[in-house]
Structure 1
Amino acid sequence: MTMPTPIKLPPKPRIGLYAVGLRAYWEQFPGLRERLIEYAAFIEKRLSEWGEVYHYGLVDTAEEGRKAGEWLNSRNVDLVFCHAATYSTSSTVLPVHQACKSPVVFLNLQPTDRIDYERTTTGEWLAHCGACPVPEFANAFNRAGISYRVVNGLLGLDYTPSISLTNEITNDRPEAIRAWREIEEWARAAGVPRALRHSRIGFLGNTYSGMLDMYSDFTMIQAQTGVHVEVLEMCDLDRLLQTVTPADVAAKREETLSMFEISGDSPSDPIARKPTEEQMEWSCKVAAAQEKLVREYGLDGLSYYYHGAPGGEYERLQSGFIVGHSLLTARGIPCSGEGDLKTAIAMKICDILGTGGSFSEIVATDYVDGTILLGHDGPFHLKIAEGKPILRGMGLYHGKQGTGVSVEAKVKTGPITTLNVTQTGDGRLKLIVSEAESTDGPIMRIGNTQTPVKFKAHPDEYLTRWFDEAPTHHCAMSIGHNASLFRKVGDLMGLPTVVL
């Protein structure tokens, strides 16, 4: 199964970097300054794997700190890494972040796993004492009301600088691997607020009537995430449907057949049958119109639902939604059903991070296997599927109007993380995160997405804890264990985050 190319790529995070030291050291200990600059160049190279790096250089006085803060401000960075390369006064560092309000992470990365006690000089020691100033920074920042984060560990060089008096090859040490995993997560997490601030999520139709947990204030959404909500009408989609050509339909049919397996009749459910030729043709025509809608309005995501009057044209139009919205989700435009805007944002966060993000809710509990079945009646994130998803023709959409083609699929077996974006009584968004395992257990053959998930606790215990957090009843399912990463996203977005 060949994945289609993304329609839009999220912007890369803009990462600030500088190193600190004490100017008095440079004349006292020749070569120390150059050595620290070499370490910073190594850090810059590693960070460039995850974003655009803006490296100011060495900050060694309060005056230089003010200049660095203004310089980083002018680069509009999303996150700043301060390498505590050696001792530096807090008065050198604080001005940087009084000028530049972007979140800061202090890097306490010792170059060696153990100094050579017999040979080490004062100058040599100063190249390894990055932990020394960090508590001073922490105290000053706390009293200044500026939040900070710290990564501790080893620098992770794969060579030893010529000036060094000890072994600095630490790239295979667990302390280096752990530190760089943390740094990577901070860098990737920094891309989420930037991407959301540049995102336009379409809201097509309305929210399913009566699902009170899903109703949200568009102003609140933009205020807390930066996302612009573009309100769309079914007539916008219908207008574009009229422009779809037979060639458009044929191209979408080819894309659909490359991504899905066409089912026969379900052996168990009489309403889930082999899609008819008419259903397939209509789904592909609607899918072509859906892509036109995304391109015309510059969308980065979509939340949709339309009930429609029985037998009306818009009821027929919405009956063809699931295939096209699954294709769009696979191309970086996550689509959430039932007008659940908060879950569209959860899916977008997962997609920005490259971890998937498939639309899900509780389906059933399997007490024999100790799993909870998560899924929905569409759409599905094809990039995280176990095998090739199946298309089934549905004689009816349960709880909704119309008939059409639906997706039957499961998330690939292995580690997964659910991300729930909910709203609390005071109007604040909150992230609820759960790590688990997707299993190879059986699923129903009813034309819905379903994945058996084993959480760390017994299903009843897990559900009690989840319900206690007052979640939105939908969530985004991502692949991998991403709790640490999602927690950092919540930190940088200023959203409370609960990990179950």
Structure 2
Amino acid sequence: MFDPIKPAKKARVGLYSIGLEAYWNQFEGLRERLLEYGQFIENKMQTFGEVYNFGLVDTEGKAREAGEWFNKNSVDIIFCHSATYSTSAAVLPVHQICQKPVIILNLQPTERINYAQTTTGEWLAHCGACPVSELSNAFNRAGIPFRVINGLLGLDYTPSISLTNETTHERPEAIRAWKEIEEWILSAGVARTLQHSRFGFLGNTYNGMLDMYSDFTMIQAQTGLHVEILEMCDLAKFVDEVTPTEVRNKMEEVKTMFEISGDSPADPIARKPTDEQMEWSCTVAVAQEKLVKAYDLDSLTYYYHGSPGSEYEKLQAGFILGHSLLTAKGIPCSGEGDLKTAVAMKICDILGRGGSYSEIVVVDYIDQTILLGHDGPFHIAISQGKPILRGMGLYHGKQGSGISVEAKVRTGPVTTLNITQTGEGKLKMIISQGESTNGEIMRIGNTQTPVKFPLHPDEYMSRWFAEAPTHHCALSIGHNASLFEKVAEILGVEYVTICR
């Protein structure tokens, strides 16, 4: 049901191991042992990305060859496996030639060497930490940003050549290290996907919402995505092509995904959807999917005011249902022309964390939660139970009436991702971890999720407002702060984490 219309791209991962050429003739089996470790890393990384393993770099000539090879294979990130000691001169050229983000892997194969029996050759297989400070110094002086992951290699066996235990996959040092590796690879996949993405911008931005106005060139310059400017007539032509069979099929899909509401017991404008509203929203939803496929879109930002009673006012009144369905299928849709939040939603979706369009709705000082939500669209794939469809007598602050989605993000850990723009014209990510609770929500046809942050609501809001956010954010499932921070680093975007 939630199969993506356009699957995200996997990162292209460069990998190589380092060593000192002089060792190979001195210590039998050492070179092969280190290559075996590198092969283990490659195999495990394949779960998260497409891995290009150059093998062993042990001279400056090999380093230059590796840099050219990584460029040829268009890698997004490079992992330097510090397998044993190497001179920094035999490593630096890799990254001077291929200037992609670099992560040094300081992964020791054993939790403890066999002190009594260890030979020099045995020690050299475990001394990967030795050259890391030298590499750090060289990279820093060469102006090459880098990160280091320290921990255990995480083998689930001990090589026959070893004189100690190397089965370390259940140790926390291995689990933590591999979580970091996974996050860096997934983050590089976000960057690759964005660089190949087409974001539709349909209509315009809600008049007067100054925080949401964006420069399309700035967005492309800092993320690599392309903005395709669309008009309402581009969508209207697909509405005219929709067949009764397509509407019936879409109606069946909707009835499977949603609960159809009765009248709201509280709000007179939130009522049971009429047959006419259902049929029109399904018609528009079919057209919206056709538009996405015709223009090869990966995301869509939209808003159109529409003159009262006009054709386009009626068309935009049917948007929320179809855009919720598209969001569930990997095409995040953000309302009110908020392109920056569409980027945040897309990042969450690429990572498989959802990303529902949200803003502050109200504060519950008794439960100490902040309700986050909007009048749509909603990310159905991360819903707590079936979302509810309600008919709306009017869309508050907007033209027209139609169907809206009432839902909450599933209970458990959540993370908000806000993308704003600084006074210098740079994108900035604002990240907050919290817990989605089972608290009550209003029955007014809007999405609402009660979120309890580690801070008192007033303290949280004070810190959040101080960062000058765009007033919308993407609400994702899971505690994703460390992951989002890595995405920001890969993209070269400033970030701040409000709370964990």
The TM-score bracket by the shorter chain reads: over 0.9
Aligned position for 1:44: 42
The one-character-per-residue Cα deviations of 1:421-475 (angstroms, maximum 9, x if unpaired) are 0000000000000000000000000000000000010000000000000000000
Deviations 1:308-359 (A, max 9, x none): 0001110000000000000000000000000000000000000011100000
1:119-198 alignment, distance < 5 Å: 119-198=117-196
What is the correspondence of 1:371-386 to structure 2 with a 5 Å cutoff? 371-386=369-384
- How far apart are 1:6 and its partner, in Å? 1.2
Q: Give the match for residue 19 of structure 1.
A: 17
Number of the residue aligned with 2:349 = 351
TM-aligned CA deviation for residue 5 of structure 1: 1.8
Match of 1:211 in 2: 209
The alpha-carbon deviation at position 251 of structure 1 amounts to: 1.1
> What's the CA shift for 1:248?
1.0
Q: Is the 8 A contact 2:488 2:495 kept in 1?
A: yes
Secondary structure, in 3 states, of the residue corresponding to 1:242?
helix
Aligned equivalent of 1:403: 401
Say if 2:227 is the partner of 1:229: yes
* Distance in 2 separating the partners of 1:200 and 1:42: 36
Q: Aligned pair count?
A: 498
Corresponding position of 1:100 = 98
Mapped partners of 2:490, 2:3: distance in 1: 29
Q: Given residue 396 of structure 1, which amino acid in structure 2 is its aligned partner?
A: L
**Which of 87, 91, 97 is the matching residue for 1:89?**
87
SS of the residue 1:422 aligns to: strand
Amino acid across the alignment from 1:191 = G
CA distance in 1, matches of 2:459, 2:425: 27
- Matching of residue 310 in structure 1 with residue 304 in structure 2: no
Which stretches of structure 1, 4 residues or longer, exceed 2 Å deviation after superposition?
A: none
Does residue 423 of the first structure (1) align with residue 435 of the second (2)?
Answer: no
Per the alignment, residue 248 of structure 2 pairs with: 250
Could you tell me which residue of structure 1 aligns to residue 492 of structure 2? 494
1:329 to 324, 327, 330: 327
| Alignment-mate amino acid for residue 292 of structure 1 | K
Aligned to 1:483: 481
Structure 1 residue 10: Cα displacement: 1.4
2: CA distance, partners of 1:11 / 1:373: 33
CA distance in 1, matches of 2:30, 2:4: 47
In the alignment, the residues of structure 2 paired with residue 340 and residue 85 of structure 1 have an alpha-carbon distance, to the nearest angstrom, of 47
- 2:18 is aligned with 1:10: no
Task: Give secondary structure in 2 for the equivalent of 1:30.
Answer: coil
String of CA shifts for 1:14-34, please: whole Å, max 9, x gaps: 000000000000000000000
Distance in 2, matches of 1:5 and 1:160, equals: 40
1:286 aligns with 2:296: no
Deviation string, structure 1 residues 269-328 (Cα, Å, up to 9, x no partner): 000000000000000000000000000000000000000000111000000000000000
Shift of 1:12: 1.1
2:472 & 2:332 partners in 1: Cα distance? 14
1:189-246 Cα distance to aligned partner (Å, 9 max, x none) = 0101100010000000000000000000000000001110000000110011100001
Q: What SS does the aligned partner of 2:186 have?
A: helix
Deviations 1:238-269 (A, max 9, x none): 01110000111111111111110000000000
Instruction: Give the distance between the partners of 1:96 and 1:239, measured in 2 at CA.
Output: 52
- Name the Cα RMSD after superposition: 0.4
Matched residue type, 1:372: I
Quote the offset at 1:4 in angstroms. 3.0
- Check conservation: 2:372, 2:450, Cα contact below 8 A: yes
Q: 2:466 aligns with which of 465, 468, 472?
A: 468
Instruction: Show the counterpart of 2:385.
Output: 387
Which residue type is aligned with residue 208 of structure 1? Answer: Y
Q: Quote the Cα distance in structure 2 between the aligned partners of 1:4 and 1:168.
A: 41
1:74 matched residue in structure 2 = 72
Q: Distance in 2 between matches of 1:59 and 1:404?
A: 63
In structure 2, distance between residues paired with 1:495 and 1:438 = 27
Q: In structure 2, what is the Cα distance between the partners aligned to 1:8 and 1:63?
A: 41
What residue identity is the alignment partner of 2:153?
Answer: L
TM-score (norm 2): 0.99
- Structure 1 residue runs of 5 or longer lacking an equivalent are none
For residue 402 of structure 1, report the CA deviation from its aligned partner.
Answer: 0.3
Distance 1:196 1:174 in 2: 33
C-alpha distance in 2 between matches for 1:225 and 1:4:
26
Deviation (angstroms), 1:11: 1.3
Paired residue secondary structure (2:39): helix
Instruction: Report the AA paired with residue 176 of structure 2.
Output: R
Amino acid at match of 1:78: D
Partner residue of 2:438 out of 428, 433, 440: 440
**What is aligned with 2:32?**
34
Render the CA deviation track for 1:146-193: whole Å, top value 9, x for unaligned: 000100000000100000000000001000000000000001001011
CA contact (8 A) 2:2 2:381 kept: no
